[in-house]
């Protein structure tokens, strides 16, 4: 079967959905009856593009300020999609929110329903487009893929859709995420002036949904000597409404105990995850939470909120906190510093939990969704 997959998101710096598309496409190569054609927004290709870095397009921020920019871009993408695709496409897979028009079977991936739970975490123009198009996209799709059972259950309740239209395909973990000896990551750690297992790490786009403010408040509650020995490193590019916590972030940076590293190449992120004392991931809501899985596969304990899909991913390996409990997060960090037996138990539990996930399994479930959509 020949699959048309919308890979336009790969033109941007890769965050969660971009990594999903790239890893899924690579893993689908093992499915011998599947041939994937990639639509990248302006044309078609059989090859994945190189990962973009921030600053890849100075035009994108400008377009967000132009009325009707989303609709105009959508119209142009649809035109390019129709003009360039061949007639032998059996199925169209849209991996992000709302599909383009297609006169054949469609599969979509619904990663989360953030816009319903936290509408204030989306730019207004984008929110309007999601509200206008998502319900129609769900109706268009013969099969709806989700990263977790939690999101499948939510979507069934919110949109009144039958369970048989959903296929859960949990995400996987890339090969670069694995335990590493301190000497193997020494160069990267020295670049950021930290020692192995003597820093905490946050990974994710700087936006309100990621709840970075809680991490900053909890870290500030640690004794100064502890903060000095175990700084908090933050990896991720600036996102929507970063100014909501800019004052807290400014004060934390001024203290010298918090370091904002920005968007880093994938290999550097993998090495930093492998060397951290723990990943701090206090997100308000996630459809999966890929950094949690990547940290566990790297042999690093995780501290996560008990919300949405994160317990499904972290399982018994998670150190769970409430999304508004700075004292609870501080206590979790302190225990991971002071209780070596607990830290080791979390590390082992995380490694075991991570083995339950792979991109091969994700691709197999996705291929099954394709066959189901085609009536196979």
Confidence tier at 371 by pLDDT (50, 70, 90): very high
The answer to the question of residue 271 being in a domain is yes
DSSP string, 26-57: HHHTT-TT-EEEEE-SSSEESSPPPPB-TTS-
Of the candidates 103, 80, 106, the one whose C-alpha atom is nearest the C-alpha of residue 5 is: 106
Do 201 and 144 fall within a single domain?
no
Q: Are 314 and 306 in contact (CB under 8 A)?
A: no
For residue 362, the SS3 value is helix
Separation in Å, CA 188 to CA 261, 264, 271: 12, 11, 7
What was the pLDDT predicted at 61?
52
Say yes or no: 247 and 267 in one domain.
yes
Average pLDDT, the chain: 89
Q: Are residues 366 and 249 in the same domain?
A: no
Confirm if 300 and 276 have CB atoms less than 8 A apart.
yes
Higher pLDDT, 110 or 40: 110
Q: CA geometry: angle at 68 spanning 64 and 74, to 5°?
A: 90
Range of the domain at 192: 182-354
Residue whose token pair is 């807290």: 248
The stretch 267-291 carries a mean pLDDT of 97
Q: 126 with 186, same domain? A: no
How big is the CA angle at 111 (ends 110 and 116), to the nearest 5 degrees?
85
Average pLDDT on 187-208 reads 94
206 lies in some domain: yes
* 2, 87 Cβ separation under 8 angstroms: no
Average pLDDT value for residue range 342-363: 98
Q: Which two tokens stand for residue 303?
A: 């501290």
Percent of the chain with pLDDT over 90: 66
Residue 167 sits in the same domain as residue 194: no
| Mean pLDDT (whole number) for 179-206 | 96
In this structure, the answer to whether residues 244 and 293 fall within a common structural domain is yes
| Residue 177 lies inside a defined structural domain of this protein | no
CB distance 143 to 167 below 8 Å = yes
**Would you say residue 82 lies in a domain?**
yes
For residue 140, being part of any structural domain is answered with yes
Residues 131, 137, 139, 141: is their CA dihedral positive or negative? negative
Strand partners, 93: 5, 107
Same domain, 103 and 139: yes
Q: Are residues 259 and 350 in the same domain?
A: yes
**202 within domain boundaries:** yes
Number of domains in the chain: 2
Give the number of other CB atoms < 10 A from CB of residue 59: 7
SS (H, E, C) 137-160: HHHHCCEEEECCHHHHHHHHHHHC
Between 120 and 215, the more confident residue is: 215
187 lies in the same domain as 300: yes
Residue 369 sits in a domain of what CATH number?
3.40.50.2000
Q: Does residue 165 share a domain with residue 236?
A: no
pLDDT band at 165 (very low <50, low <70, confident <90, very high): very high
Bigger pLDDT: 225 or 62? 225
Q: Judge whether 253 lies within some domain.
A: yes
Q: Are residues 190 and 62 in the same domain?
A: no
Could you tell me which of 110, 301, 270 has the C-alpha nearest to residue 174?
Answer: 270
Phi, psi of 89 (to 5 degrees): -75, 125
Confidence band of 59 (pLDDT split at 50, 70, 90): very low
Give the span between the Cα atoms of 176 and 160, in whole angstroms: 40
Same domain, 297 and 264: yes
Mean pLDDT of 29-48: 89
Determine the Cα–Cα distance for residues 190 and 183; give it in Å rounded to an integer. 11
pTM of the model: 0.91
Read off the pLDDT of each residue in 287-291 and give the average, rounded to a whole number: 96
d(CA 311, CA 276) in angstroms, rounded, equals: 21
């Amino acid at each position: 079967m020949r699959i048309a997959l919308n890979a336009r998101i790969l033109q941007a710096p890769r965050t969660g959905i971009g990594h999903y598309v790239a890893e899924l496409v690579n893993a689908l190569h093992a499915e011998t009856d599947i041939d994937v054609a990639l639509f990248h927004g302006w044309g078609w290709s059989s090859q994945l593009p190189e990962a973009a870095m921030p600053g890849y397009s100075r035009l994108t921020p400008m377009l967000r300020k132009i009325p009707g920019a989303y609709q105009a871009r959508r119209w142009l993408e649809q035109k390019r999609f129709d003009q360039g695709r061949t007639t032998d496409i059996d199925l169209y897979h849209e991996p992000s929110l709302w599909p383009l028009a297609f006169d054949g079977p469609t599969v979509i991936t619904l990663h989360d329903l953030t816009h319903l739970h936290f509408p204030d975490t989306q730019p207004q123009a984008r929110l309007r487009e999601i509200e206008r198009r998502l319900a129609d996209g769900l109706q268009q799709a013969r099969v709806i893929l989700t990263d977790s059972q939690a999101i499948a259950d939510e979507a069934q309740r919110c949109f009144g859709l039958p369970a048989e239209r959903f296929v859960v395909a949990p995400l996987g973990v890339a090969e670069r995420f694995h335990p590493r000896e301190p000497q193997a990551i020494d160069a990267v750690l020295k670049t950021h002036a930290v020692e192995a297992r003597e820093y905490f790490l946050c990974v994710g786009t700087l936006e309100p949904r990621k709840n970075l403010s809680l991490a900053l408040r909890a870290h500030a509650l640690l004794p100064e000597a502890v903060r000095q020995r175990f700084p908090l490193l933050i990896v991720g590019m600036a996102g929507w409404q970063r100014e909501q916590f800019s004052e807290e972030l400014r004060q934390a940076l001024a203290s010298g105990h918090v370091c904002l590293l920005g968007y880093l190449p994938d290999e550097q992120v993998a090495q930093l995850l492998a060397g951290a004392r723990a990943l701090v991931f206090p997100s308000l809501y996630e459809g999966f939470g890929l950094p949690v899985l990547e940290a566990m596969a790297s042999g690093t304990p995780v501290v996560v909120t008990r919300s949405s899909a994160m317990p499904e991913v972290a399982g018994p390996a998670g150190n769970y906190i409430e999304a508004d409990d700075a004292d609870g997060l501080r206590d979790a960090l302190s225990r991971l510093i002071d209780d070596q037996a607990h830290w080791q138990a979390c590390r082992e539990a995380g490694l075991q939990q991570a083995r339950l996930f792979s991109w091969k399994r994700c691709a197999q479930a996705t291929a099954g969704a394709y066959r189901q959509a085609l009536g196979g």
